[in-house]
Chain A
Amino acid sequence: MSSHYEAPIREPLILGEKSYHDISVDVGAPILGKANKSWWIVFSIALVAFLWGLGCIVYTVSTGIGVWGLNKTIGWAWDITNFVWWVGIGHAGTLISAVLLLFRQKWRMAINRSAEAMTIFAVVQAGLFPIIHMGRPWLAYWVLPIPNQFGSLWVNFNSPLLWDVFAISTYLSVSLVFWWTGLLPDFAMIRDRTKSPFQQKIYGILSFGWSGRAKDWQRFEEVSLVLAGLATPLVLSVHTIVSFDFATSVVPGWHSTIFPPYFVAGAIFSGFAMVQTLLLVMRKVVSLENYITIVHIEFMNKVILLTGGIVTVAYLTEYFIGWYSGVPYENYTYLSFGAATGPYWWAFWALIICNLIVPLTLWVKKWRRNILWTFIVALVINIGMWFERFDIIVICLSKDRLASSWSMFSPTFVDIGVFVGTIGFFFVLFLLYARTFPVIAQAEVKSILKSSGARYKRIRESGKD
C-alpha cells in the first residue's frame, strides 16, 4: 500500500482536476497579478480607520487617559477588553498551524498560512493596548528587567502584567519565526515564477535562497515539528497568562481557577470564528474555492462547536460555583443572576445569545455546511466573544465589594476610535498580505494532492474495480 493511501470515506480536500502546476498558478495569481478596484476601495477604508485610530491614540497619549471613559472604579474597560479580544483571535492561527499539525490534520494545510498571518496581525493590534493604556507610556521600557542607574532597580516578577509582557512578546516572535519558516518554499516558488526583476529581487531576499534539496526538506520538516511542539504549550500558556491578569486578583468574578483553560478555549473559539470570517471572503475573492472547500469550512465549524461547548460548560460552572460558593459578592459577577437582571443585562444576554445559543445551530449538518450561515454565525461569535471579555472586565468591576464604589462605565469616542483604529490597522495589514504573500501554503498542499485530491481519489477508486 502506498503512503498516498487514504480511506475512501474521507472527503477530498482539493477539488477539481488539479495538478502540481495548477496549484502554483492558483496560489501565485494574486501576487503576480494586479489589484482590482474593490481591493483599493476596501484598503482605503481600512487605512482611513487606521489613521483615525492613530489620531485617537496620539490624542490619548498627549492629553491623558482621562479622555477615555474610565473612572476610579472601572480602571480597565475597552482597552483590556480589546487587548484580550485581539490576543484571543490570534490564537486560532497557532492552533491551526501547530496543534493541528501535531494531530496530523491534513485539512489545516489550505488554511494555516492565512490563519498564521491573522495571528500575527492580531497580536500586533493586541500589543498596542498594553502600551497605550499606560498613564506614562514613554516609561514603558521600565517593564523590562534591564540593568540601570537606579541602583539596578528591577521589575517585580510577581505581577501577571509582567508575565504578559514576556508571554506576548515570545508569542509574537515564535509565531513570526514559525510563519516565516513555512513561507520559505512558497516565496521561492514566487521568485522562480515571476517575470518582473523587481519581484525576483524581493522574493529572492525573502526566500533566503531556498533551493528545495532533500536535506533542506528533511530539516524543514523537523523544524516545523519542533516549533509546533513548542508553539502548542506556548499558545496555551499565553492566553493562560492573559487570564491570570484577572484570576490572580481577589475581585469577585475575576478570581476563578477555571479561567486558564476557559480563556484558552474561548480564544480558539473566537479565533476560529475570525478565520471563518476572513477565509469565507478570501476564497471567493481570490478564487480558492477548490482549496478552501466546504469540507474545510465544516471542519472549522466543528472546532467552533467543540470549543463553544467547552466554553458553555465553563459558563455553567462559573454560574453554578458562583451560587454554590455562597459568597454574597458573587451575586454581581459577570455570570450571575445579578448580571442577568442588573444594569448590564444587555451585555450579559449578548454574551449568552452570541456564544451559547447561536452556535448551537452548527449542530445541524445542513447549516454548518451553509456558507452564508457560517459567515453570520462567525460574525456573531466575534461580537459575542468581545462581550465575554467586556462582561468579565466591566461587570465584575462595576459592582465590587463596597457598594459606595459601585459605578457604571460608558465609553467615549476615543475608546471607540482606538478600537476602530485597530480593526482598520488589522485589515490594512491583512489586505497587504493577501496581495503579496502566498495565501495558501502551496508546498504543503502539494504534499497531500495525491492522497486527498479529488482527482487522485477518483483514479484510486476506479482502479479498484
Chain B
Amino acid sequence: MYKFSSKLRLFAIVCMVLGLIGLVFGFLSVPGTVEEANEILAAQEAHHSGGEAHHEDGAAHHEEGAEHHEEANFVDEVKGEPGYSERAMAGDKDMGHAAHEDGEHMEHVLHQMQTKPWSATFIAAFFFMMIALGTLVFYAIQNAAQAGWSPLLFRVMEGITAYLLPGSVIVLLVVIFAGEHFYPWMNHELVAEDEILQGKSGYLNFPFWLIRGIIYVAGWNLYRYFAVKNSRDLDTAEGLQPYKNIFKYSIYFLAFFIVTESTMAWDWFMSMTPHWYSTLFAWYIFASIIVSAVTVIAIVTVSLKAIGQLEFVNDSHLHDLAKFMFGFSVFWTYLWFGQFMLIWYANIPEEVTYFILRIQEYNPIFFGMLILNFVFPILILMNSDFKRVSWFVVIAGIIILVGHYIDIFLLVMPSTVGPYGSFGITELAALLFFLGLFIFTVGMGLSKVSLRPKNNPFLVESEHFHY
C-alpha cells in the first residue's frame, strides 16, 4: 500500500497556493482600457527598440500596411483585399468584416490582452486533464486488447486517472466562463455581420455546445468510475465477472471516446478560430493526448518503483512503456507533418492563415517543438538498452512533456490572443497550480488501494513478463 508522503502533499499544496496567487495576479494585471493596452504596447516597443510592425500602435500599423503585405505574400491583389496574413495577424475574430479602423483595432488588441490569462489557465488545465484522459484511454486499450504485460501497471493507471474528475470539470468550467474570450462565435454582434458564422450556427451555438461538453465529461468519468470500481471488486471477487465487465465497458468507452474526442477538439479548440477548419485536427490532438499520457505513466511507474512501491514491476515493463513513448512520438510527428504539409502545399488562403500566424509570430517554438517531440525521443529511445534505464526514460519523458505543453500552447495562444502570447508569470502560475492539483489528486488516488492488483486473468503473464 502506497502512502502519500506528507512532504509531497505539502509540495503540492505549496504549488497550488503559489499558482493561485500568480493566477489572481495575472487576471488583475490585464489592461482594462484601450489606453492601458497602448501603454503596454509602448513599453514593449521601447523594450524591443523598434521591433516588428505588428507591435506598433494602430496608426503606424496602417502606414506600414502595404509593405507588410508584400512581404507576407498572401495579399489578394485581384479583390484588393487586405490579405489573409494581415487578418490572421489581427486575429481571426476580425475575419469576414473589414474592421480595421484605428479605434476598433486597439479594442481588438485590448480584447486579446484580456484573454491571455484565460488562455494560460486553459492550456495548463487541459494539459493535465489530457494526461488523465489519455491514461484512461490507454487503460481501456490495454483491457480491450487483453494485454499480457500491463495488468501489473493497472493500479498506477487508475491512480493517474483520479485526476480526470476534477480536471475535466475544471476544463469544462474554464471554456464555459472564458466564453467570448475564446469563442468569437458566441459574440452575437459578430455573428450578425458574418455570414460564414451564421452558416455554422447550427453546430456552433451555446446551448448545443454546452450540452456536448457535459456529455463528454460525464461519459469519460462514468467509464472511469465503473472501470475502477470493477477493478477493485476483482481483488475480492470469486469469479471473473468484474473482469468481464471492465472488458465490455472498455470497448464501449473506446467507441464513445473516438467520437467525443473528435467533437471535443472541434468544440474547444477548432472553434477558437471559427473560420478555419482541418479534418485531421481532432486526431492530431489525440496523438498529443496519448503520448503525454504514456509518458506520465512511465514517469509515475519509475518514481513509485524508486521508492520501493512497485517491486514486482521489472525493466521489461518499463521497456514496453518506453516503446510506446517512442512509437506515439513518431505517430504525433506523422500527424503533425500530414496536417502541416498538406495545408502548406495547397496553400488555400482560408486554411493557411492558421500556420502563417504560428510561423510568423511563434516561429522558434513552432519548429522547436519538433525537436522536443520528435528528434529527441527518436534519438534517445531508439536503443533497446536505454529504454530499460529508468533515468533515461524519465529524461526523455520530461522532454516529451515540455514539448507537448508547447503543442497545446500553440493550439490555444495564437488562436485566442494572436501575436500577444508569451510565457510569463501567469502561464507559469497556471502550470504550477494544476501541477499541484495533479500531484495531490493522483497521490490521493494511488494511496487508497494496494498497488498490486489481484485476480486479473493475465496477472501471472504480467508478473513473469520478460522481453
Q: When the two chains form their complex, are residues B460 and A5 in contact, meaning their CB atoms are under 8 A apart?
A: yes
Q: Cβ of A257 and Cβ of B461 under 8 Å apart?
A: no
Query: Which single residue of chain B is at the shortest CB-CB distance from A160?
Result: B345
Q: How many chain-A residues does the 8 Å CB contact rule pick out?
A: 37
Interface string of A1-15 (1 = CB under 8 A from B): 101011111100000
Within 8 Å by CB of A247, from B342, B460, B464, B466, lies: B342
How many contacting A-B pairs (Cβ < 8 A)? Answer: 88
Query: For A310, what are the chain B residues with a Cβ–Cβ distance below 8 Å?
Result: 258
A-facing residues in B449-464 (Cβ within 8 Å): 457-458, 460-461, 464
Q: Is B359 an interface residue (CB 8 A)?
A: no
Q: Is the CB of A7 within 8 A of B282?
A: no
CB interface residues, A 216-238, toward B, < 8 Å: 233, 236-237
CB-defined contacts of A318 to chain B, threshold 8 Å:
279
Q: Is the CB of B200 within 8 A of A324?
A: yes
What is the interface residue range for chain B against chain A? 35 or more
With both chains docked as a complex, state the minimum distance between the C-beta of A310 and any C-beta of chain B, in angstroms.
7
A248 within 8 A of B: yes
Contact in complex: B283, A324 (CB < 8 Å) = no
A325: B residues at CB distance < 8 A: 277
Per the bound structure, the CA–CA distance linking A321 and B275 in Å amounts to 11
A258 engages B280 (CB within 8 Å) = yes
**Considering the chains assembled together, what is the distance between the CA atoms of A5 and B462 in angstroms?**
11
The CA-CA distance from A118 to B149 in the complex, in Å, is 31
Contact of A326 among B199, B280, B457 (CB under 8 A): B199
Contacting pair B282 A233 (CB below 8 A)? no
Shortest Cβ distance from residue A213 to the other chain B in the assembled complex, whole angstroms: 23
A61: min CB distance to chain B, Å: 32
A1 contacts which chain B residues (CB < 8 A)? Answer: 460, 464
B 333-354 to A, binary, CB cutoff 8 A, 1 in contact else 0: 0110011011101101010000
Query: A248-270: contact bitstring with B at CB < 8 Å (1 yes, 0 no)?
Result: 11100001111111000000000
**Measured between alpha carbons, how far is A258 from B266 in the docked complex, in Å?**
14
Supposing A9-B458, A240-B338 touch, asked if A257 and B199 sit within 8 A by C-beta, the answer is: no
Q: What is the bound-complex CA distance between A257 and B346, given in angstroms?
A: 11
Answer yes or no: A78 CB below 8 A from chain B CBs. no
Q: Which B residues between 307 and 348 are near A, CB-CB below 8 angstroms?
A: 330, 334-335, 338-339, 341-343, 345-346, 348
Q: Does B277 contact A321, Cβ atoms closer than 8 Å?
A: yes
Which of A5, A10, A248, A250 makes the CB contact (< 8 A) with B464? Answer: A5
Per-position contact with A for B431-467: 1 when CB-CB < 8 Å, else 0?
A: 0000000000000000000000000011011001010
Q: Cβ of B46 < 8 Å from any Cβ of A?
A: no
Q: A257: which of B196, B259, B279, B460 is its contact (CB, 8 Å)?
A: B279
- Complex contacts, B458 vs chain A, CB 8 Å: 7, 9
Residues of A within 8 Å of B350, CB to CB, are 327
Please tell me if the beta carbons of A250 and B348 are within 8 angstroms of each other in the complex: yes
A83 at the interface (CB under 8 A from B): no
User: Is A375 in contact with chain B by the CB < 8 A criterion?
Assistant: no
Indicate if the CB atoms of B461 and A258 lie closer than 8 Å. no
Asked if B278 is at the interface of the complex by the 8 Å CB criterion, the answer is: yes
Judged by a CB distance under 8 angstroms, whether B255 is at the interface is: yes
Q: Give chain B residues whose Cβ lies under 8 Å from the Cβ of A257.
A: 278-281, 338-339, 342-343
- Contact between A255 and B464, CB atoms less than 8 A apart: no
> What is the bound-complex CA distance between A6 and B240, given in angstroms?
17
Residues of chain B with a CB closer than 8 A to A255's CB: 342, 346, 348
In terms of DSSP, what is the predominant structure of the interface of chain B? helix
Q: Which parts of A300-350 form the interface with B (CB within 8 Å)?
A: 309-310, 313-314, 316-318, 320-321, 324-327
**Separation in Å of the B114 CB from the closest CB of chain A?**
28
B280 touches A313 (CB 8 A): no
Please state if B148 and A7 are interface contacts (CB–CB under 8 Å).
yes
CA–CA, A256 to B283, complex, Å?
13
Say yes or no: is B386 at the interface (Cβ < 8 Å to chain A). no
Closest to B457 in A: A9
* A326, B277: Cα distance in complex, Å: 10
- The answer to whether A171 has its CB under 8 Å from any CB of chain B is no
Instruction: Report the separation of the CA atoms of residues A89 and B335 in the bound assembly, to the nearest whole angstrom.
Output: 22
Which of chain A's residues has its CB closest to B343's CB?
A257
Chain B hits for A248, CB < 8 A: 341-342, 345-346
- Contact: A258 with B258, CB < 8 Å? no
A272 in contact (CB, < 8 A): no
B262: A residues at CB distance < 8 A: 313, 316-317
Residues of B within 8 A of A327 (CB): 350
The smallest beta-carbon distance between A316 and chain B, in angstroms, is 8
Chain A residue numbers with a CB within 8 Å of B461 are 5-7
A260→B279 CA distance, assembly (Å): 11
- Looking across the interface, which residue of chain A has its beta carbon closest to that of B278? A257
Cβ of A244 within 8 Å of any chain B Cβ, yes or no, is: yes
Query: Smallest CB-CB separation from A248: which chain B residue?
Result: B345
Chain A neighbourhood of B199, CB < 8 A: 326
The answer for the CA separation of A261 and B331 in the assembled complex, in Å, is 10
By a CB distance below 8 angstroms, the chain B residues around A250 are 346, 348
Which of B259, B345, B458 has the most chain A CB atoms closer than 10 A to its own CB? B345
List A contacts of B177 (CB < 8 A): none
B203 contacts A by Cβ under 8 Å: yes
Please measure, in the bound complex, the distance between the C-alpha atom of A320 and the C-alpha atom of B262, giving whole angstroms: 11
Residues of B within 8 A of A9 (CB): 240, 457-458
In the docked arrangement, what's the CA distance between A244 and B255, Å?
28
The 9 closest A-B pairs by CB, nearest first: A258-B279, A257-B280, A260-B338, A9-B457, A258-B280, A248-B345, A326-B199, A257-B339, A1-B464
Using A261-B283, A324-B266 as known contacts, list a sample of 15 further A-B pairs with CB atoms less than 8 Å apart, ordered by residue number in A: A1-B464, A5-B460, A7-B148, A9-B458, A247-B342, A248-B345, A249-B346, A257-B281, A257-B343, A259-B342, A260-B280, A260-B338, A313-B259, A321-B277, A326-B199
Contact sample, A vs B, 10 pairs, CB 8 Å cutoff: A3-B466, A9-B240, A9-B457, A257-B278, A257-B339, A259-B338, A260-B335, A321-B278, A321-B279, A324-B266
